[in-house]
Amino acid sequence: MNPGAQDARADAPDPLYEQLAAYAGRPAATAASGKDPVNAPMIRHWCEAMGDTSPAYRGPGAVAPPTMLQAWTMRGLAPDPESDDGTGRSPAYDGLLRLLDGAGYTSVVATDCEQEYLRPLRPGDLITYDSVIESVSPRKTTKLGTGYFVTTRMDVRANGEPAGTHRFRILKYRPVERPTQRKAPLRPRPVINRDNAGFWAGVAEHRLLIQRCTRCATLRFPWLPGCNACAGQEWDTVEASGEGTVFSHVVMHHPSFPAFDPSGEGGPYAVALVELVEGVRIVGNVVGVPYDKVRVGLPVRLEFQRMDPDLELPVFRASEGG
């Protein structure tokens, strides 16, 4: 059923499983009806979303795509006024989930669904359905953790005739505990490709290289394969002098990314768009002043800062008395 799932040890008694298995055959959702009859607008939206252009789903004589079966039974996000707790779930299904939650199997993941089609659905068909807890598996261990697969089966009727079944399987599980890592967080690695490799080669030599079009001499940054001014493909580089000013900046408060905060604590920290004297702009950290002292027009000077053993980055130090 699920590759990677292993049966619990056959000799280990599992009293919880006995309790869970007693739910098999009990209703998961009480006799219910679809919110809308089968209808052409929903079919059209589905086909557009799926990119399905089959003529069978359009015009007079159209049928609904069979894979829409579940869509006709969906209750929407708003609480259901017809059910006691607003979920549309039966007391039995709620009881099963509470039993699992109470035993520590608090996580849930949908694993698979299976459908069987008994008759085509056409615009105007009125949908009703019943849902039953079909089975609960013995305890299994998966990569996610240990838990129980719960399969529900929905029997869908159109105008009272059997139209299809929809089986839906979840795993209720206790997540595998992973040791929490206390290592200092690292900055994301730059993605180095053929178009920007020359820039990173420059950083390795503590040189900030700006691309220059050899046809029209326009400078460009960040690095690109071609010139935006003349579409020229040939380029060379000029080395930035390192002088610049803060053109714009943001202060990052939330979410916390400790790797980006010069203090290593997660913020707040300033991210600046620095205009180099050569005229191009580059995003980077401003160092040497608190985040709330970074301002537009602040003079800064390039330096290279080692972030970790494998990464050095250009940063901008606020000049004395800036």
- What minimum distance in Å lies between the beta carbon of 52 and Zn ion? 45
Under rule CB under 5 A, residue 232 binds Zn ion: yes
What is the pattern of x (binds Zn ion, CB under 5 A) and - over residues 265-294?
A: ------------------------------
Under rule CB under 5 A, residue 215 binds Zn ion: yes
- What minimum distance in Å lies between the beta carbon of 228 and Zn ion? 8
- What minimum distance in Å lies between the beta carbon of 222 and Zn ion? 16
- What minimum distance in Å lies between the beta carbon of 220 and Zn ion? 8
Report how far residue 130's alpha carbon sits from residue 73's, in angstroms, rounded to the nearest whole number: 10
Looking at the Cβ atoms of 222 and 264, the one nearer to Zn ion is 222
Looking at the Cβ atoms of 193 and 233, the one nearer to Zn ion is 233
- What minimum distance in Å lies between the beta carbon of 225 and Zn ion? 12
Under rule CB under 5 A, residue 302 binds Zn ion: no
Looking at the Cβ atoms of 12 and 216, the one nearer to Zn ion is 216
Under rule CB under 5 A, residue 229 binds Zn ion: yes
Looking at the Cβ atoms of 19 and 196, the one nearer to Zn ion is 196
Using the rule CB under 5 A, give the single segment among 147-155, 225-233, 241-249, 266-274 that binds Zn ion: 225-233
Under rule CB under 5 A, residue 218 binds Zn ion: yes
* Residues at the site binding Zn ion, with contacts judged by CB under 5 A: 213, 215-216, 218, 227, 229-230, 232
